[in-house]
Amino acid sequence: MHLDCKPIVELRNIERTYYVDAKPVHALRGVSLQIPENKLVILKGPSGSGKTTILNIIGGLDQPSQGQILFKGKELVKFSDKELTLWRRKQVGFVFQTFALIQTFSAFENVELPMRITRVPWRERERRTLECLDIVGLRKRASHRTFEMSGGEQQRVGIARAIVNQPALILADEPTGELDFKTGIQIMNLFRSMVDEGGITICLTTHDPAFIEFGDLVIELEDGKIIH
Ligand SMILES: Nc1ncnc2c1ncn2[C@@H]1O[C@H](COP(=O)(O)OP(=O)(O)OP(=O)(O)O)[C@@H](O)[C@H]1O
Ligand SMILES: [Mg+2]
Protein backbone atom coordinates (compact mmCIF):
# COMPACT_ATOMS: atom_id res chain seq x y z
CA MET A 1 0.00 0.00 0.00
CA HIS A 2 1.42 3.36 -1.01
CA LEU A 3 0.74 5.98 1.61
CA ASP A 4 3.27 8.44 0.34
CA CYS A 5 0.76 10.50 -1.66
CA LYS A 6 0.05 14.07 -0.61
CA PRO A 7 -2.05 14.55 2.52
CA ILE A 8 -5.50 16.09 2.30
CA VAL A 9 -5.34 16.89 6.01
CA GLU A 10 -2.36 17.41 8.22
CA LEU A 11 -2.41 17.97 11.97
CA ARG A 12 0.72 19.41 13.52
CA ASN A 13 1.24 19.08 17.21
CA ILE A 14 -2.42 19.53 18.13
CA GLU A 15 -3.33 20.09 21.76
CA ARG A 16 -6.90 20.34 22.97
CA THR A 17 -7.51 21.10 26.61
CA TYR A 18 -10.99 21.43 28.07
CA TYR A 19 -11.62 23.03 31.41
CA VAL A 20 -14.14 21.40 33.70
CA ASP A 21 -14.64 23.20 37.03
CA ALA A 22 -11.43 25.11 36.27
CA LYS A 23 -9.51 21.82 36.05
CA PRO A 24 -7.81 21.00 32.76
CA VAL A 25 -8.81 17.88 30.81
CA HIS A 26 -6.15 17.11 28.22
CA ALA A 27 -8.15 15.55 25.40
CA LEU A 28 -5.27 15.75 22.89
CA ARG A 29 -1.63 16.03 23.88
CA GLY A 30 0.44 16.84 20.84
CA VAL A 31 -1.14 14.91 17.98
CA SER A 32 0.56 15.06 14.59
CA LEU A 33 -0.82 13.08 11.70
CA GLN A 34 -1.37 13.10 7.97
CA ILE A 35 -4.45 11.83 6.19
CA PRO A 36 -3.44 10.81 2.68
CA GLU A 37 -5.78 11.67 -0.17
CA ASN A 38 -8.12 8.97 -1.51
CA LYS A 39 -7.56 6.62 1.40
CA LEU A 40 -9.67 5.16 4.17
CA VAL A 41 -8.14 6.09 7.50
CA ILE A 42 -9.33 4.53 10.75
CA LEU A 43 -8.88 6.08 14.18
CA LYS A 44 -9.06 3.57 16.96
CA GLY A 45 -8.49 3.63 20.68
CA PRO A 46 -10.29 3.26 23.98
CA SER A 47 -13.18 5.44 25.08
CA GLY A 48 -11.95 8.89 26.00
CA SER A 49 -8.71 8.58 23.99
CA GLY A 50 -9.58 11.61 21.82
CA LYS A 51 -11.04 10.15 18.60
CA THR A 52 -14.13 12.36 18.43
CA THR A 53 -12.06 15.40 19.41
CA ILE A 54 -9.75 14.79 16.43
CA LEU A 55 -12.65 14.42 13.98
CA ASN A 56 -14.29 17.60 15.31
CA ILE A 57 -11.04 19.50 14.94
CA ILE A 58 -10.45 18.22 11.40
CA GLY A 59 -14.03 19.15 10.45
CA GLY A 60 -13.70 22.65 11.90
CA LEU A 61 -16.40 21.97 14.51
CA ASP A 62 -13.89 22.52 17.30
CA GLN A 63 -10.68 24.51 17.57
CA PRO A 64 -7.43 23.21 19.00
CA SER A 65 -5.89 24.91 22.02
CA GLN A 66 -2.58 24.77 20.16
CA GLY A 67 -1.18 23.47 16.89
CA GLN A 68 -1.87 23.71 13.19
CA ILE A 69 -4.43 22.09 10.89
CA LEU A 70 -3.79 22.12 7.17
CA PHE A 71 -6.43 21.20 4.61
CA LYS A 72 -4.85 20.73 1.17
CA GLY A 73 -1.98 22.81 2.48
CA LYS A 74 -4.14 25.71 3.71
CA GLU A 75 -4.26 26.58 7.38
CA LEU A 76 -7.78 26.22 8.77
CA VAL A 77 -7.35 28.60 11.69
CA LYS A 78 -6.79 31.43 9.22
CA PHE A 79 -10.30 30.99 7.78
CA SER A 80 -12.97 33.43 8.96
CA ASP A 81 -16.15 31.91 10.43
CA LYS A 82 -17.93 32.47 7.14
CA GLU A 83 -15.13 30.89 5.12
CA LEU A 84 -15.06 27.96 7.53
CA THR A 85 -18.80 27.37 7.16
CA LEU A 86 -18.61 27.51 3.36
CA TRP A 87 -15.56 25.27 3.34
CA ARG A 88 -17.29 22.74 5.60
CA ARG A 89 -20.44 22.65 3.45
CA LYS A 90 -18.51 22.07 0.24
CA GLN A 91 -15.54 19.99 1.30
CA VAL A 92 -16.60 17.89 4.29
CA GLY A 93 -19.37 15.35 4.77
CA PHE A 94 -20.25 14.15 8.26
CA VAL A 95 -21.66 10.74 9.17
CA PHE A 96 -22.91 10.25 12.72
CA GLN A 97 -23.23 7.20 14.95
CA THR A 98 -26.94 7.81 15.48
CA PHE A 99 -27.54 8.73 11.80
CA ALA A 100 -28.99 12.18 12.67
CA LEU A 101 -31.71 12.08 10.02
CA ILE A 102 -34.87 14.16 10.15
CA GLN A 103 -37.51 11.65 11.21
CA THR A 104 -40.44 13.13 9.31
CA PHE A 105 -38.45 13.48 6.08
CA SER A 106 -38.22 10.79 3.43
CA ALA A 107 -34.87 9.31 2.43
CA PHE A 108 -34.97 11.57 -0.63
CA GLU A 109 -35.63 14.72 1.41
CA ASN A 110 -32.90 13.91 3.93
CA VAL A 111 -30.33 13.45 1.18
CA GLU A 112 -31.49 16.52 -0.70
CA LEU A 113 -31.30 18.85 2.31
CA PRO A 114 -27.57 19.77 2.19
CA MET A 115 -28.04 20.84 -1.44
CA ARG A 116 -30.93 23.12 -0.47
CA ILE A 117 -28.54 24.76 1.97
CA THR A 118 -25.91 25.19 -0.75
CA ARG A 119 -28.64 26.42 -3.16
CA VAL A 120 -28.22 23.80 -5.84
CA PRO A 121 -31.02 24.16 -8.46
CA TRP A 122 -33.88 21.65 -8.28
CA ARG A 123 -33.09 19.55 -11.39
CA GLU A 124 -29.53 19.09 -10.23
CA ARG A 125 -30.70 18.32 -6.68
CA GLU A 126 -33.05 15.66 -7.95
CA ARG A 127 -30.40 14.09 -10.16
CA ARG A 128 -27.73 14.02 -7.47
CA THR A 129 -30.10 12.80 -4.75
CA LEU A 130 -31.14 9.81 -6.84
CA GLU A 131 -27.55 9.16 -7.87
CA CYS A 132 -26.37 9.12 -4.23
CA LEU A 133 -29.27 6.92 -3.13
CA ASP A 134 -28.22 4.60 -5.95
CA ILE A 135 -24.64 4.51 -4.70
CA VAL A 136 -25.82 3.34 -1.27
CA GLY A 137 -28.30 0.91 -2.84
CA LEU A 138 -31.46 2.68 -1.63
CA ARG A 139 -33.05 4.22 -4.69
CA LYS A 140 -36.10 2.03 -4.12
CA ARG A 141 -36.46 3.43 -0.61
CA ALA A 142 -36.41 7.08 -1.75
CA SER A 143 -39.92 7.81 -0.53
CA HIS A 144 -39.60 5.93 2.78
CA ARG A 145 -39.56 7.98 5.94
CA THR A 146 -36.77 7.51 8.43
CA PHE A 147 -38.87 5.41 10.83
CA GLU A 148 -39.82 3.12 7.96
CA MET A 149 -36.20 2.03 7.49
CA SER A 150 -33.82 -0.33 9.33
CA GLY A 151 -30.76 0.98 11.16
CA GLY A 152 -28.46 -0.07 8.31
CA GLU A 153 -30.70 1.63 5.77
CA GLN A 154 -30.81 4.79 7.86
CA GLN A 155 -27.04 4.85 8.05
CA ARG A 156 -26.85 4.43 4.27
CA VAL A 157 -29.15 7.44 3.91
CA GLY A 158 -26.76 9.26 6.26
CA ILE A 159 -23.87 8.34 3.98
CA ALA A 160 -25.77 9.43 0.85
CA ARG A 161 -26.46 12.76 2.56
CA ALA A 162 -22.76 13.12 3.45
CA ILE A 163 -21.61 12.66 -0.16
CA VAL A 164 -24.30 14.64 -1.96
CA ASN A 165 -22.37 17.92 -2.04
CA GLN A 166 -19.41 15.97 -3.45
CA PRO A 167 -17.05 16.62 -0.54
CA ALA A 168 -13.37 15.78 -0.71
CA LEU A 169 -13.44 14.36 2.81
CA ILE A 170 -15.89 12.30 4.84
CA LEU A 171 -15.62 12.24 8.62
CA ALA A 172 -17.53 9.44 10.30
CA ASP A 173 -17.68 9.06 14.07
CA GLU A 174 -18.50 5.45 15.04
CA PRO A 175 -20.65 4.99 11.92
CA THR A 176 -21.19 1.32 12.77
CA GLY A 177 -21.68 1.86 16.51
CA GLU A 178 -25.44 1.35 16.46
CA LEU A 179 -25.47 -1.48 13.94
CA ASP A 180 -25.24 -5.25 14.24
CA PHE A 181 -22.03 -6.88 13.04
CA LYS A 182 -23.27 -7.94 9.61
CA THR A 183 -24.74 -4.52 8.84
CA GLY A 184 -21.54 -2.92 10.12
CA ILE A 185 -19.55 -4.96 7.60
CA GLN A 186 -21.89 -3.81 4.81
CA ILE A 187 -21.35 -0.18 5.78
CA MET A 188 -17.56 -0.67 5.90
CA ASN A 189 -17.69 -2.33 2.46
CA LEU A 190 -19.63 0.66 1.17
CA PHE A 191 -17.00 3.09 2.53
CA ARG A 192 -14.26 0.90 1.05
CA SER A 193 -15.83 0.91 -2.41
CA MET A 194 -16.43 4.66 -2.28
CA VAL A 195 -12.71 5.19 -1.67
CA ASP A 196 -11.68 2.61 -4.28
CA GLU A 197 -13.95 4.11 -6.91
CA GLY A 198 -12.15 7.35 -6.41
CA GLY A 199 -12.28 10.96 -5.53
CA ILE A 200 -12.96 10.70 -1.81
CA THR A 201 -11.04 10.41 1.44
CA ILE A 202 -12.68 8.92 4.52
CA CYS A 203 -11.59 9.20 8.11
CA LEU A 204 -13.66 7.20 10.57
CA THR A 205 -13.50 6.03 14.16
CA THR A 206 -14.36 2.58 15.41
CA HIS A 207 -14.20 0.51 18.57
CA ASP A 208 -14.50 -2.77 16.74
CA PRO A 209 -11.22 -4.54 15.89
CA ALA A 210 -13.06 -6.53 13.18
CA PHE A 211 -13.40 -3.38 11.05
CA ILE A 212 -9.73 -2.40 11.17
CA GLU A 213 -8.87 -4.46 8.09
CA PHE A 214 -10.96 -2.12 5.92
CA GLY A 215 -8.53 0.76 6.52
CA ASP A 216 -5.55 1.73 4.38
CA LEU A 217 -4.08 3.33 7.46
CA VAL A 218 -4.95 2.71 11.11
CA ILE A 219 -4.05 5.30 13.71
CA GLU A 220 -4.16 4.17 17.31
CA LEU A 221 -4.77 6.64 20.10
CA GLU A 222 -4.39 6.37 23.82
CA ASP A 223 -4.94 9.11 26.34
CA GLY A 224 -4.80 11.90 23.75
CA LYS A 225 -1.66 10.66 22.01
CA ILE A 226 -0.92 8.58 18.94
CA ILE A 227 0.69 5.34 20.05
CA HIS A 228 0.78 3.54 16.73
N1 LIG B 1 -16.81 19.20 25.83
C2 LIG B 1 -15.96 18.59 26.66
N3 LIG B 1 -15.67 19.11 27.87
C4 LIG B 1 -14.79 18.51 28.67
N5 LIG B 1 -14.12 17.39 28.40
C6 LIG B 1 -14.37 16.82 27.21
C7 LIG B 1 -15.29 17.38 26.28
N8 LIG B 1 -15.33 16.60 25.18
C9 LIG B 1 -14.47 15.59 25.43
N10 LIG B 1 -13.89 15.71 26.63
C11 LIG B 1 -12.88 14.82 27.22
O12 LIG B 1 -11.84 14.67 26.29
C13 LIG B 1 -11.37 13.32 26.25
C14 LIG B 1 -11.47 12.78 24.82
O15 LIG B 1 -12.84 12.69 24.46
P16 LIG B 1 -13.33 12.12 23.06
O17 LIG B 1 -14.79 12.33 23.01
O18 LIG B 1 -12.51 12.69 21.99
O19 LIG B 1 -12.99 10.57 23.21
P20 LIG B 1 -13.33 9.35 22.23
O21 LIG B 1 -12.05 8.66 21.94
O22 LIG B 1 -14.14 9.83 21.10
O23 LIG B 1 -14.21 8.40 23.17
P24 LIG B 1 -15.45 7.44 22.79
O25 LIG B 1 -14.84 6.20 22.18
O26 LIG B 1 -16.08 7.14 24.13
O27 LIG B 1 -16.36 8.16 21.87
C28 LIG B 1 -12.21 12.56 27.27
O29 LIG B 1 -11.47 12.47 28.45
C30 LIG B 1 -13.42 13.43 27.45
O31 LIG B 1 -13.94 13.29 28.75
MG1 LIG C 1 -16.10 9.44 20.46
C-alpha 48 – ligand 1 centre gap (Å):
5
Give the per-residue pLDDT at 34.
95
Which residues have CB under 8 Å from 155's CB, separation 6+?
95, 99, 175, 176, 178, 179, 183, 187
Nearest CA to ligand 1 atom 17: 52
Give the per-residue pLDDT at 3.
52
Question: By the 8 A CB rule, do 205 and 34 touch?
Answer: no
Give the per-residue pLDDT at 4.
57
**Long-range CB contacts for residues 188-194, cutoff 8 Å, separation at least 24:** 188/214, 189/214, 190/136, 190/137, 190/156, 190/159, 191/40, 191/159, 192/40, 194/135, 194/163, 194/170
Give the per-residue pLDDT at 55.
96
Q: What is the 3-state secondary structure (H, E, C) of 65-104?
A: CEEEEEECCEEHHHCCHHHHHHHHHHHEEEECCCCCCCCC
Show me where the domains of the chain are located. 7-226
Nearest CA to ligand 1 atom 12: 27
Burial letters 101-116, b for 16+ CB under 10 A, else e: beeeebbbbbbbbbbe
Give the per-residue pLDDT at 199.
83
Nearest CA to ligand 1 atom 19: 48
User: pTM of whole model > 0.85?
Assistant: yes
Which residues have CB under 8 Å from 121's CB, separation 6+?
none
Please determine, looking at this structure, whether the domain spanning 7-226 carries the CATH number 3.40.50.300: yes
Which residues contact ligand 1 via a Cβ below 6 A? 18, 20, 25, 27, 45, 47-53
Low-confidence ranges of the chain (pLDDT < 50): 1
